Amino acid sequence: MGSTSAHNNEGLGRRDLIKRSAALGLISVPTMSFLSACASGDSGSDEKVEKGKKTATNPLAVNESAPLEVVIFDGGFGTKYAEDASAVYKKNFPNATVKFSKTQKIQSVLQPRFNGGNPPDLIDNSGAQQMDMGVLVGKNQLADLTPLLDAPSIDDPNKKVRDTLRPGIVEMGQFDGQPVWILYYAYTVYGVWYSQTALEKLDATYPETWDEMLALCEKAKKKGIAGWTYAGKYPYYLPFSLYPFIAKIGGREVLDAIDNLEPNAWKHPAVKAAFEAYYELYKKGYILKGTPGIDHIQSQTAWTQGKALFIPNGSWVENEAAKTTPADFKMAVSAPSSLDASDKMPFGTIWASGGEPFIVPAKAKNVQGGMEQLRIMLSEASSKNFTDSVKSLTALNGGTDGLTLTAGLQAGVDALKKAGDNVVNPRLQDWYVKLQKEQIGVAGLGEMMAGRLTPAEAIKKIQGFADAAAKDPNIKHYKHQ
């Protein structure tokens, strides 16, 4: 898998083929409203299979002889994990025919089937050709997954499926607090990534305060090592550590206000403090020379080669940078350092959220079967199979006992444990792709970290972008409930 991901010209295609931070499509953009001409007739609904008998082992009342059709995005995670789960479904329902297919062209393959009222029963709606979730939800084309969430989990029938999931998974599948339409199967930990070995060589531990961070960067600079690097061409990586830093300083409500596009949300003192702290890294010369001109792969390579101590990133980095990572690197991730004692949230506050969105179409013939397949995938056995084979966590809270985890994966597990309830999940990158990537990222943070804008100028510029997005009638707006 390595560095198979690709950017398109706008830098919006990040991780189309590799671990995804979250769906790119949780917004409605006019250019993507390919479903606007959807058939509104009920051509598919009268063909639904009859429900089966509800039992302790079949809580969703799956029709045991009804066919099931599953379509999986064939990207960085591959499809074997889903094929293995389909084999379990077939074992549980031997009279059912399971049709399994994979594609990278989700939209072009499946759009005509949605239009014709004949979609598959379960879809991994991911990749560059992901269908626009906002449009699917707005046109009532997705089944409400509440019955799945309220069903007993496979490993512990006394626990509902929803009670076995990691923080934020249920909320991510909602739009404006409506029912849950999407189940994100993978789970990404974002933060400040580093090499434990590199810190040990400097006789240092991860800096838990910003003063310690600056002192360590100064120590590294004297040895010819930069403190930080990042994807300069795609500076929307900076928020992976900057957003939880803002929440830590001012509370999670600051991020909620930013997500909600509230007036002056970016002018909050916590945002100002966080921007000024990051700007100090530039001012003091702690950022790897040339960083503004390099992409994600180049920055990760410089980091694994020991040219910089820290990089803001997500947990896919371990897999993506595997080819250049030395055997003794001891990859690790931490939550952002504390700014000072007045921070609202404790050290350990981190951003983690779901990726790889699974949906059950409303007009699927076998809705119950699609949900049951997801219930199987959320068992400990299926979750372990995924984690073991693709080096990523799943939405199941746990499912790693007995596995030998890679250094980065173990670090992610440890970071989540340390965070406890202090996990934040900014939605901006799901709800407003252009705002997050091109405007806040490239035109705002990228310019500030390159020294071309002061923090005050960057904040003013970003607030202007957010205000414009809030007023744009062509953008579907979402809010935290």
The domain 190-351+427-471 belongs to what CATH superfamily?
A: Periplasmic binding protein-like II (3.40.190.10)
Compute the mean pLDDT over every residue in the chain, rounded to the nearest whole number: 89
Q: Express each pLDDT in 11-56 by its tens digit.
A: 333 333 233 333 333 333 333 333 333 433 334 445 789 999 999 9
**Exposure string (b/e) for 55-68, b if CB count within 10 Å is 16 or more?**
eeebbbbbbeebeb
pTM: 0.79
Separation CA 76–CA 59 (nearest Å): 33
| Number of neighbours of residue 207 by Cβ within 10 angstroms | 22
Q: Express each pLDDT in 170-195 by its tens digit.
A: 989 988 777 999 999 999 999 999 99
Q: Tell me, what's the pLDDT at 41?
A: 37
- Average pLDDT estimate for 317-346: 95
The answer to whether 5 touches 76, Cβ cutoff 8 Å, is yes
Separation CA 91–CA 95 (nearest Å): 9
Residue 356's closest CA among 15, 9, 60? 15
H-type alpha helices, 398-451: 407-419, 428-431, 433-434, 447-449
Q: Tell me, what's the pLDDT at 244?
A: 98
Looking at the chain, the domain(s) classified CATH 3.40.190.10 span 30-188+354-408, 190-351+427-471
Q: Tell me, what's the pLDDT at 46?
A: 53
- Average pLDDT estimate for 202-221: 98
- Average pLDDT estimate for 125-153: 89
Beta strand 226-228 with 308-314 is: parallel
Is 30-188+354-408 assigned to CATH 3.40.640.10? Answer: no
